[in-house]
A and B are shown apart, each in its own frame.
Chain A
Amino acid sequence: MATKTDFLAILQTMAGRDVDYIVVGGVAAVLQGAPVATFDLDLVHSREPENLNRLLAALDFLEARYRTPGAETARPTYSHLVSPGHQLLMTRWGPLDLLGTIGEAQGYSELLDRTVTLDAGQDLSVQVLDLSTLIQLKEQLAHDKDRAVLAILRRTLEEKGKGS
């Protein structure tokens, strides 16, 4: 399936089909200056019916399939995407996680006012979860992998504060 990871191409595909989403996770951290590496793109998508139909069209173009063991040939469906759960997918341009909600059941509409709009290149503007909220969410999760990156996110927020 994926031969080249290209997060920008996935985001452009979403934008080209007017999909409403928020970039969260490691890519959101990187876009705001945190030197962390991540191998997947995490998006919280709007679960409004019209948006789900646009999202399904984008996923079809991306040749999205589940990457969970035993489900590698399954395609995401409307009923999967309308749920608050997490869909772990592989696309033609790398891993993509679609998250109905994150943290304490926060979805697209709850998170939208905690985003910043950033230019991701090639005339693409993306809504990105702000660094303070990313830190709060990782503090709530308290997984080992989240704790490891928390120190970097906190110092990045500090350094950004010094520069502004």
Chain B
Amino acid sequence: MAEKTESSPPLPALSTAYSEDGVDLTLIRWMLSLTPAERLEVLQNTVASILRLRGDQN
């Protein structure tokens, strides 16, 4: 069997993704990379999608 020559880049350690108390820091860093207006848009889209899943909103 041919030896695999290409390797995938190593995944970042999961320990850097969470704080000691279990908070997902990747989400915080993503939100902080956005403007306040973009953050509000993310929230509104999140609320709308959850309500749609619940069947509350079309």
Please give the residue numbers on chain A whose beta carbons come within 8 Å of chain B beta carbons, in ascending order. Answer: 3-8, 27, 30-35, 37-39, 94, 118-122, 151-152, 155-156, 159-160, 163
Q: Which B residues are CB-close (under 8 A) to A37? A: 43, 46-47, 50
Please give the residue numbers on chain B whose beta carbons come within 8 Å of chain A beta carbons, in ascending order. Answer: 19, 21-25, 27-32, 34-44, 46-48, 50-51, 57-58
Q: Which A residues are CB-close (under 8 A) to B39? A: 30-33
A-B contact count (CB 8 A): 80
Q: Which A residues are CB-close (under 8 A) to B25? A: 155, 159
Q: Are B37 and A120 within 8 A (Cβ)? A: yes
What is the distance, in angstroms, from A42's C-beta to the closest C-beta of chain B?
A: 13
Q: Are B51 and A8 within 8 A (Cβ)? A: no
Q: Are B31 and A4 within 8 A (Cβ)? A: no
Q: Are A151 and B22 within 8 A (Cβ)? A: yes
What 3 pairs across the A-B complex have the smallest Cβ distances? A121-B37, A35-B27, A33-B32
Q: How far is the CA of A119 from the CA of B37 in the complex (A)?
A: 6
Given A35-B27, A120-B37, residue A163 in contact with residue B51 (CB < 8 A): no
Q: Are B48 and A4 within 8 A (Cβ)? A: yes
Which among A39, A152, A156 is the interface contact of B32 at CB below 8 angstroms?
Answer: A156
Q: How far is the CA of A121 from the CA of B23 in the complex (A)?
A: 28
